[in-house]
Amino acid sequence: QKEVEQNSGPLSVPEGAIASLNCTYSDRGSQSFFWYRQYSGKSPELIMSIYSNGDKEDGRFTAQLNKASQYVSLLIRDSQPSDSATYLCAVSRNTDKLIFGTGTRLQVFP
Amino acid sequence: EAGVVQSPRYKIIEKKQPVAFWCNPISGHNTLYWYLQNLGQGPELLIRYENEEAVDDSQLPKDRFSAERLKGVDSTLKIQPAELGDSAVYLCASSLVSGAGELFFGEGSRLTVL
């Protein structure tokens, strides 16, 4: 079992729709959760972090965390073609090691 | 503010040759990371530095890989000798607070071993 699992996609959504990206993790001691966006040929950039159960909203992005189910998700509202990228889920048990998933490729079509 | 700078961006070498990658982190960031990213995969940590000290090098293949961070600023990652399986993107990242999860990545160095 991988430590951080994501569906590789591609996830295709029409412009204006909600894109839902999911991630599960195996270490129940995980405390910190992150979503990075990576455009093709570029390096990852942090877009969201979440540390406690529930929802955290930032503009069109909402991160959701359920530690009991070991599940974290990212919702992108009003998806735009410019959101087309690979979204990497990253998890940390404490404050010293970040484990990345393989990423989900999102395609937003006009 | 300048971001993380890496060089070279691209490198093509023949197997068994040596190669080195250089990284200059964001000014003031004491924590520096080297990650390896294969196509279609997420980044995998090779080594993490706190200032000039390597605090996590458990995933670094020490038979052929080495890294240094003299003076606690820029860093060099070396592979000698390179193997075909080393073809990947080598990402350098830095963070202001150790382990906080907010990593700033450089553009990466894409290595092709022929």
The amino acid at residue B28 is G
Q: What is the pLDDT of residue B1?
A: 67
Q: What is the pLDDT of residue B70?
A: 83
Q: Cβ contacts (< 8 Å) between B105 and chain A: which residues?
A: 43-45
User: Which residues contact residue A77 at a Cβ distance below 8 angstroms, ignoring those fewer than 6 apart?
Assistant: A18, A60, A61, A62
Q: What is the pLDDT of residue A11?
A: 96
* C-beta atoms of A49 and B102 within 8 A: yes
Enumerate residue ranges in chain B where pLDDT < 50: none
Enumerate residue ranges in chain A where pLDDT < 70: 1, 95-96
Q: Which residues of A18-51 are buried (b: 16+ CB within 10 A; e: fewer)?
A: ebebbbbbeeeebebbbbbbbeeeebbebbbbbe
Give the separation between CA A101 and CA B14, rounded to whole angstroms. 30
Q: What is the pLDDT of residue B90?
A: 98
Which residues are bridge partners to A85 per DSSP? A106
Q: What is the pLDDT of residue A95?
A: 61
* C-beta atoms of B105 and A44 within 8 A: yes
Q: What is the pLDDT of residue A93?
A: 83
Q: What letter would DSSP give residue A42?
A: S
Q: What is the pLDDT of residue A2?
A: 78
* C-beta atoms of B99 and A97 within 8 A: yes
